Amino acid sequence: MSLAYGLSNLYPVPWNPALQKILIANRGEIALRIVRACRELDIASVAVYSDADRAALHVLEADEAYHLGPAPAVESYLRADLILDVAHRAGVHAIHPGYGFLSENADFAEACEKAGITFIGPPSTAMRALGSKTSARQAADEAGMPRTPGCVHGLASPEEAHDVALSVGYPVMLKAAAGGGGKGMRAVYRPEDLEAAFATASSEAERAFGSGEVYLEKLIERPRHIEIQILADGHGHCVYLGERECSVQRRHQKVIEEAPSAVVDEDLRRRMGEAAVRLALSAGYTNAGTIEFLLDEDRNFYFLEMNTRLQVEHPVTELITGVDLVHLQIRIAQGEPLPFIQSDLQLRGHAIECRVYAEDPENAFMPSPGRITRLLQPGGPGIREDSGIYEGWVVPMDYDPMLSKLIAYAPTRETAIARLLRALDEYVIGGIRSNLGLFRRILRDPEFRAARIDTGYLDRLLAQPNSRPSEDGSEPLFVAPAMAAAAVLEVSKPAAGATIAGAVSSASVWKSAARREATGGAS
């Protein structure tokens, strides 16, 4: 049976939403993504916003919107009490947490449960069982899932760390049990470095997560990051929706994600997928989730962690499976069974996603908040852009720098790369810096094109000098048009002293240029 498209149509129509009103406890592109899904399912959407986000797109597009508090996230988007208060006032039936913020906070999920509001995600018990990396490793053992050699409990002392390191062999990784985003993580290559690394990892974890619990595992050399998307309903059914490869990373943050992976074949996909499903079922997991693995050079896979929420990179899975994950999250949350079984799912084509950030790759990746003065967005065949920005929007300095996700879909990986490069050339973000140029560089790199990537790939690429396309001694192509454009803009200024930006923002400059021309006044 092959039903790569229109799987959601297997649900009976007409559709009668039990969850008629949903609050979205998030901001940015993901809040807008969920507002759109609600609109498509005929569900009322409720946005929340901080002082910095009154003019944000998710507020504009939602059916209702309520103010939370000041700009810092700890005073607004992380305030579970304020969000539940809005939920009661607005009379919502469910809360979608998006990703980040409160999405993996089991206390918040439990508070929703107690308040009689459906949390669109797993039950708080499953989040607790899988949320800490050490308890997730224990669950992996119980589910018979391969994991990296090492301990499944927090380390009590540097001596214990030393014993575990000796038993698995160097090099090793120290990791925070409550960790994420690379914080509280240290690679250790020699026994004499272990004690100091243990102390810094533990104190960093304490500062970042409020828990200094650290565990140790064998370091996998040149690993690929491969993750499995799962969906589980409340009736004991669970399926995997193929893998995503997220090996292009900087500082443990994903930069480019794609599906499927160029190195995962049918057999490996089935083995990883079945292991992921076993883990989810054993923990009583429901809704969408992602099990992350490392894949070594011999294509052995090791359980890394589980993300108990919707992922940033979920669109690449949607494109190759034809499934709308947010629609399904909502339908699972209101108690419906999955509308398909594993054998109904078939992967088709290839999808690649770029995380477009307000940061400057040419200046040590400095953040670049501020006003977007100019915005030309790409379109055309096979291009999807999930964004929360518009021309004139001031990107706040208070949150992470993601502006949008640009995703290309095509029958093959090669064509998807070509589409993405084409779309990147169409894309202009003016007024602030962005990492669009970095994606052009990666997508043209022979190593990336050959899919010879691992989690250290991007650091190696960035260590090489970055030459512009035409620095071989010949005149760069852009010089003539840049000169012509600058000259045209300059002579078109209506009056001395006016800025060029001001001049071109008024159509009258062209009239005044024409007037000067007619009277022979140009000099």
Task: Name the minimum Å distance from CB 100 to another protein.
Answer: 11
Task: Please report how close the Cβ of residue 189 comes to another protein at its closest, in angstroms.
Answer: 28
Three-class SS state of 323: coil
**CA 337, CA 323: separation in Å to the nearest integer?**
15
Q: Which residue, 196 or 522, is less far from another protein as judged by CB?
A: 522
Decide: 141 and 152 in contact? Cβ < 8 Å: yes
What six digits make up the tokens of 247? 């090996």
CA–CA dist 4, 163 (Å, integer): 50
Minimum Å distance from CB 513 to another protein?
Answer: 6
Q: What percent of the residues of the chain are helix, what percent strand, and what percent coil, each to the nearest 5?
A: 35, 25, 40
Tokens of 255: 């930069």
Closest distance to another protein from the beta carbon of 253 (Å): 11
Which CB sits closer to another protein, 322 or 370?
Answer: 370
Instruction: Give min distance, CB of 460 to another protein, in A.
Output: 23
d(CA 463, CA 455): 14
309 is catalytic: yes
Q: The tokens 């709308």 sit on which residue?
A: 324
**Strand, helix or coil for residue 130:** helix
Nearer to another protein (CB atom), residue 451 or residue 504: 504
User: In the complex with another protein, which residue's Cβ is closer, 5 or 478?
Assistant: 478
DSSP annotation of 475 reads P
Which of these is catalytic: 309, 355, 384, 419?
Answer: 309
Nearer to another protein, 157 or 505 (CB): 505
Taking a C-beta distance cutoff of 8 angstroms, is the pair 4, 348 a contact? yes
Return the number of the residue (297 or 400) whose C-beta is nearest another protein: 400
Tell me the CA distances in angstroms from 149 to 152, 158, 218, 219, one per residue in order.
Answer: 9, 18, 6, 9
Cβ–Cβ < 8 Å for 194, 200:
no
Cβ 472 to another protein, closest distance in Å?
A: 15
Q: Buried b vs exposed e over 115-146: b needs ≥16 C-beta within 10 Å?
A: eebbbbbbbbebbbbbbbbbbbbebbeebebe
Question: Which residues of the shown chain bind another protein in the complex (CB under 8 A)?
Answer: 358-360, 363, 366-371, 373-374, 376, 397-401, 424-425, 428, 430-432, 436-437, 440, 468, 476, 478-491, 500-501, 504-507, 509-510, 513-514, 516-517, 522-523
Catalytic residue positions? 309
